[in-house]
Structure 1
Amino acid sequence: MMAKALQHYGGKIVTIEMGPEVAGQAVNNFEREGVKEQIEVRIGEARTVISGMNEKFDLIFQDVGDKKLYYEMLEDYSRLLKPGGLLLAEDTLFPVMDFGSEFSDLTQMGKSLDTFNKSIAGCPQFESTLLPIGDGLTVAVKRTS
Structure 2
Amino acid sequence: MIGLIWWFAAGALIVAELFTGTFYLLMIALGLIAGGIAFVMGALAHVQIGAAALVALIAVAVLRRSRFGNWKRPNDASRDAAVNLDIGATLQVEQWRDGRARAMYRGAQWDVELAPGESEGARLYRITALDGNRLIVAAKR
| TM-score normalised by L of structure 2 | 0.23
User: In proportion to residue count, which structure has more strand?
Assistant: 1
Larger Rg, first or second structure (1 or 2): 2
The one of the two structures with greater contact order (alpha-carbon pairs below 8 A, sep at least 6) is 1
